[in-house]
Every structure is written in C-alpha cells, then in structure tokens.
Amino acid sequence: MNRKYFAAAAAILAVAFAVLWVAYGLNYGARQTFSLAEAHARIPEKTVYLTFDDGPSDRITPKILDVLDSENVKATFFIVGRQAERRGYLIRREAESGHTVAVHSYTHEYKDIYSSPRALLADIDRCNDVIEKYTGRRAAVYRFPGGSYGLSAKLVAAVRAHGMKYVDWNASLCDAEPGMSGAEKLFKNAVSSSAGKDNIVLLSHDSTSKTSTPEATRRIIQYYKQNGYSFGTF
C-alpha cells in the first residue's frame, strides 16, 4: 500500500469520527458529556437547550419562569420529587407554559439512589408519580444526579431498559459551584463553556439559593438569540 492510500484512508476515518462526535454529543470540553442522541434522533443546527436542576423552589423557580415567558423561550426542568410535592403548583405551571418537566430524582441522595439499579428505578418512579399527579403525564426524560459520567454500566442500562432517555450537559453556568454568584459571572461561565459549540445543553439550577440565576438566564437567552441560536426542549 502506498502513501496516497494511507492518506486517503486517514482522511475518511477523520471525517467518520467527526460525524460520530457531533451525532452522539461526545464533547468533553465541559464538566460532563451529554447524550443528545439519547433524546433526539435529529439535532437542529445552533440550538440551545436550557436545563434547570434541583427545583422547584418558591424563591427562584417563579422568577425563572417569568424570564422564560418574557423571552418566549421554552426550557427543560429536571425536578426533585420531594421538592415538587410541596410545590405542585410550580411544576403544573411549568407544564402548562410548554416547558418539559423531567425527572432528576426524588431524594437526590446519591448513596441511596445509586446503591443498586432497583433503588435507582424506585427513586425515578417515585419522582414520576409526583410529576403525573400535578401534570397529568409521566416524564420520559431523566438526568442522573451528578451526571451519568463515571456511573456503572448497570445503572445506565437499567435507566434505558426502564424506557427513560437521559440527558447530561456540555456547558454550565456553574451556579452550583462554591463561590459562584453574581449574574455577570454566571453569564461569562455559560458563554465560555459553550464557545464553539453549535448544539448546547446548558446546566443551571432553580433551587432556592441560586439568586443570580434568573437574571443570568435573561442575559444568556439574549446572547444566544443575538448569535443566531434557537431554543429546544427534551
């Protein structure tokens, strides 16, 4: 085999790898990988998926919903069931406003839910019972607390076999990190962690202490609109 053959073969492999990289979301530039292909067979170009974990909370979730309403943007809320049990009106509002209400956990206690596949699925079902009670439907989308990266294959396989599609992230406000406060700082985190990406799954939180997240979300939405992105949900 000559050098031209090897060069052509290498080029073909490079193109094939690039296609797989985009199609399956294998982007390690942020804290976690994300699995867009788990939730969507087709990915529109330049799309942002705003996602909010750990809510709902009386203090923050309504403010985020107000921002989304004013900007006419939909998002995905990965809820904690025991939080939602006391705030069913908020996940009802999320659903009625056209947002996706998805499962994050019932307890968010890692040592309990990750102790076995059975424990994990029981936690998912308990959270989904709350979602169904207040929205009239069960969720089919899940986010592992802490993300799926590094979890055992048995846990991930159990979620798939349970009929759930899971979504991680490839960009973040870092609003759950120590010392991260202020809308300007969170906005810069989102922009820098998503730089160069056409398909962005942006991690943020609507738990009670995330006081800077609503205003940061407004700025983030306006930034992506100005840069030609559309917005999607799972």
Q: What are the chain's domains? A: 29-231 (3.20.20.370)
pTM of the predicted structure, to 2 decimals: 0.84
> Whole-angstrom Cα distance, residue 34 to residue 167?
6
Say which of 53, 123, 175, 206 is annotated catalytic.
53
Helix (H, G, I), strand (E, B) or coil at 62: helix
53 is a catalytic site residue = yes
205 is a catalytic site residue = yes
> Whole-angstrom Cα distance, residue 234 to residue 230?
14
Burial class (CB in 10 A: 0-12, 13-18, 19+), 225: middle
- pLDDT tens, position by position, for the chain (234 residues)? 444 444 444 444 433 433 333 333 333 234 444 454 444 445 668 999 999 999 999 999 999 999 999 999 999 999 999 999 999 999 999 999 999 999 999 999 999 999 999 999 999 999 999 999 999 999 999 999 999 999 999 999 999 999 999 999 999 999 999 888 899 999 999 999 999 999 999 999 999 999 999 999 999 999 999 999 999 999
* Confidence (pLDDT) at 138: 98
* Confidence (pLDDT) at 44: 64
Per residue, the 3-state secondary structure of 2-13, as one string, reads CHHHHHHHHHHH
> Whole-angstrom Cα distance, residue 35 to residue 170?
9
* Confidence (pLDDT) at 27: 34
* Confidence (pLDDT) at 181: 84
Say which of 99, 175, 205, 206 is annotated catalytic.
205
* Confidence (pLDDT) at 4: 43
**C-beta separation of 189 from 180 below 8 A:** yes
* Confidence (pLDDT) at 100: 98
What phi and psi values does residue 38 have, to the nearest 5 degrees?
-70, -30
**Residue 208 carries which DSSP code?**
T
* Confidence (pLDDT) at 45: 83
What phi and psi values does residue 101 have, to the nearest 5 degrees?
-100, 115
> Whole-angstrom Cα distance, residue 141 to residue 76?
10
The continuous run of DSSP H or E covering 156 comes out as helix 153-161
* Confidence (pLDDT) at 51: 98
For residue 118, which of 74, 73, 155 has the smallest C-alpha distance? Answer: 155
* Confidence (pLDDT) at 42: 53
